Amino acid sequence: MIVKERLMVMERTVGFGHILHARRLLETVWGDHESNWAKVRYMMFPGMVFTSMQLTSQYANVMGMQDDLGVKGNDFSWLATGFFIAYAVAEIPQGILLQRYPITLVLGLNVFCWGIILCCSAAAKNFPGMMALRVVLGVLEAAIAPALTMYTSMWYTRAESTPRYGLWYCGLGTGQIIGGLISFAAQHAPASLSFHGWRIMFVVIGGVNILVALLVLFLPETPSKATFLTAAQKDRIAERLRQDQAGVGEKTFHLSSLLAAFTDLQTWLLVLLTILITIPSGVITTFSSIPIEDFGYGSKQSALLNIPSGLVSVVSTMGSTYAISRGYSRWWAIDLLLVPTFLGACLMSFLSTSNQAGCLVGIYLVNTTVALLALIFAWTGANYREYTKVAASTLISAAFSIANIIGINTYLPAKITIVAVNAAAIMISSALRILYGVRNSRVDREGSAGWRYVY
């Protein structure tokens, strides 16, 4: 879509029902050349590549890792639990680093170290060694979601940002697809090798992440430091964000930003929504290749059969974020996406494992939860001002990790839990819509051009 067409879409959506600033935004960017905006779009690519590499390690368990490391009983669940505990604990320190130092520097160094540690994971000899490495990976990954949220907000208005969140969140589904292929290929390694294919897979994925980190480190810290933009284009970006009340504001850590996020009702509604969405489905999307093997398929078949999970994730994420960019309501999109997530969780819980086709459909449907998480982070990026969104994104990322810990260690022992959490998620999403509507109505009554929430 050319710039003019995209801005005509923005004109319909940027006001979120009130298009007061749409014409001014249109006039502000009308002179921008499409090739320069293409360069801005390409900067999202490293983030997508990194997110695509995160889930590929889920295949290691069906490739012989348990036998090689002497993992027994609940040990594999503890590997995941250790990762998410570290993820949750590291969120606030990583958030402080993102406020004090350039986002590209913090993100690039974390991704670089992530790749190094993943390569080292290929050399693990036992469960304690792998646990230590997984904990370090959790600490490093804690920076990713807040960093990408902030970096996207530096370049795009609130109306434009949602499809970009969808783009880099598509990396999770892409990772399932790529991981399935890498896993399948690695399992065809010669039997004469003294090590299993999962070690090869870790080295390949870790190496790719190291290369991605180098790309991230070369990204411009801010639009004002982008050498491929002219001074006039930099001014246009700054003006667009100012008129849209977007951007991230001053690059300084303020305790008030953290307190503002903690005391805002929307923060806790978003945190609760994240937990409710993640508990019943997060464990399945994280370890989906394992239940597929439990259905009676071999490890090679499991790797290939998990590929459609990634396809569902990509289609649902891109479809929902595109619909929102065309003016569709965020809260309504979340409620609709909860339907296939709910159906998938029910099939996974209620069907006998002998019903292979039905259980596979359940696994595929539940992967729409990735789109839900993308919409929540996009909502966060749009409805918090300046560096308060760092604190909010940090809290929501912590909620995601906590929910995974709960899901991994409970695995829904009560079937009624599935119905309860999905129903509660729909109510919380609707409550956010009401909250934002009330706050916007208050601004309208006061007759001021104040901050407007999107829903």
Query: What's the pTM value of the predicted model, to 2 decimals?
Result: 0.78
Give the CA distances from residue 199 to residues 178, 196, 256, in Å, rounded to whole numbers and listed in that order.
16, 6, 46
Q: Is residue 452 part of a domain?
A: no
Q: Is residue 149 part of a domain?
A: yes
Q: Is residue 453 part of a domain?
A: no
Which of 387, 450, 448 has its CA nearest to residue 247?
387
Instruction: Dump the DSSP string for 29-60.
Output: HTT--HHHHHHHHHTTHHHHHHHHHHGGGGGG
Higher pLDDT: 233 or 336? It is 336
Phi first, then psi, for residue 352 (nearest 5°) are -70, 145
Helix (H, G, I), strand (E, B) or coil at 200: helix
Phi first, then psi, for residue 413 (nearest 5°) are -65, -25
- Rounded CA-CA distance 147/141 in Å is 10
Q: Is the pLDDT reported for residue 7 higher than 70?
A: no
Domain count, the chain: 1
Higher pLDDT: 164 or 449? It is 164
* Long-range Cβ contact pairs of 346-352 (< 8 A, separation 24 or more): 346/418, 348/284, 348/291, 349/412, 349/415, 349/418, 350/415
Domain harbouring 122, CATH code: 1.20.1250.20
Q: Is residue 92 part of a domain?
A: yes
Q: Tell me the pLDDT tens digit for each residue of 241-280.
A: 777 665 555 555 566 767 877 888 999 999 999 998 887 6
Give the CA distances from residue 411 to residues 135, 279, 348, in Å, rounded to whole numbers and listed in that order.
21, 8, 11
Q: Return the pLDDT at 233.
A: 79
Q: What end-to-end distance do the CA atoms of the chain give, in Å?
A: 25
- Rounded CA-CA distance 55/172 in Å is 7
- Rounded CA-CA distance 90/398 in Å is 9
> What is the domain range of residue 139?
3-28+44-242+251-441
- Rounded CA-CA distance 114/130 in Å is 14
- Rounded CA-CA distance 407/418 in Å is 11
Q: Tell me the pLDDT tens digit for each residue of 20-71.
A: 343 344 344 434 444 555 556 555 555 555 555 555 556 666 567 777 888 7
- Return the structure tokens found at 53: 């590499």
Please answer whether residues 94 and 146 qualify as being in contact, where contact means their C-beta atoms are separated by less than 8 angstroms.
yes
Q: Is residue 449 part of a domain?
A: no
Q: Is residue 455 part of a domain?
A: no
Element (H, E) at 302: helix 299-305
Q: Is the pLDDT reported for residue 131 higher than 70?
A: yes
Pick the most confident of 75-84, 222-231, 429-438: 429-438
Q: Is residue 114 part of a domain?
A: yes
- Return the structure tokens found at 168: 């880099």
Q: Is residue 448 part of a domain?
A: no
Q: Return the pLDDT at 241.
A: 74
